A and B are shown apart, each in its own frame.
Chain A
Amino acid sequence: ELKVEQNPLFLSMQEGKNYTIYCNYSTTSDRLYWYRQDPGKSLESLFVLLSNGAVKQEGRLMASLDTKARLSTLHITAAVHDLSATYFCAVGGATNKLIFGTGTLLAVQP
């Protein structure tokens, strides 16, 4: 059974600092997604990563995928308050359903 874990679960950052969120998954998959959820809102897609070594960047966020290690990272560069949200990774399983990680609540402090 596919299991997806994220760490940390909660991250308090100062503006301007860099940090990384990790997403580990338990079985082979060739696709991984990152989503963002603002408080009280639904989820929005950020990135789709489809192959080993894939890297996607948008603004201050950069996501990468290592399928051999079953690990994806979401790197935040020079954080700003607008990035405060909960970030989820999701992994495609053998039965084609997406399993979500536990989420990382990011709070960027001024």
Chain B
Amino acid sequence: GAGVSQSPSNKVTEKGKDVELRCDPISGHTALYWYRQRLGQGLEFLIYFQGNSAPDKSGLPSDRFSAERTGESVSTLTIQRTQQEDSAVYLCASSLGWAGDPTNEKLFFGSGTQLSVL
């Protein structure tokens, strides 16, 4: 597609349920990021995929959070046993990737998934 696509756009779930968020990056983009943005807050880094390298999971807040990416395509972010503090907008972004060229690092963001945990 022309841009980064995220689904669903909104998700309401009950505390304790598992949720899966999907991100379709721009075709050809080797780098993919997940960020979390709580209401009125900045962007919190969660995880970073770059090509076939091992993902940087240093931002995942707990072992309830996990993410996968198939090759250089779709990524899913899974939150198990959701808690109310997980409520936030989850943003996905992709780029051409570093490869020593900073101009390729410019991020293109999806419109996000608004997650509400009741």
Question: Taking beta carbons and an 8 Å cutoff, which residues of A are in contact with B?
Answer: 30-31, 33, 35, 41-45, 48, 50, 88, 90, 92, 95-103
Q: How far is the CA of A54 from the CA of B48 in the complex (A)?
A: 27
Query: Which residue in A41, A45, A90, A92 is a CB contact (below 8 Å) of B111?
Result: A41
Given contacts A42-B91, A97-B45, A100-B35, contact A33 B109 (CB under 8 A): no
- The answer on a CB contact under 8 Å between B33 and A97 is yes
Total number of B residues with any Cβ neighbor in A under 8 Å: 23
A96-B98 contact given A42-B112, A43-B107, A45-B107, CB 8 Å threshold: yes
Nearest B residue to A30, CB-CB: B102
Asked whether any CB of chain A lies closer than 8 Å to the CB of B50, the reply is yes
User: Which residue from B48, B50, B105, B109 sits with its C-beta under 8 Å from A43?
Assistant: B109
> Are B42 and A31 in touch, CB under 8 angstroms?
no
Whether, in the assembled complex, B64 has its beta carbon less than 8 Å from a beta carbon of chain A, the answer is no
9 A–B contacts, CB within 8 A, in A order = A30-B102, A42-B110, A43-B93, A44-B109, A96-B48, A96-B98, A99-B45, A100-B45, A103-B43
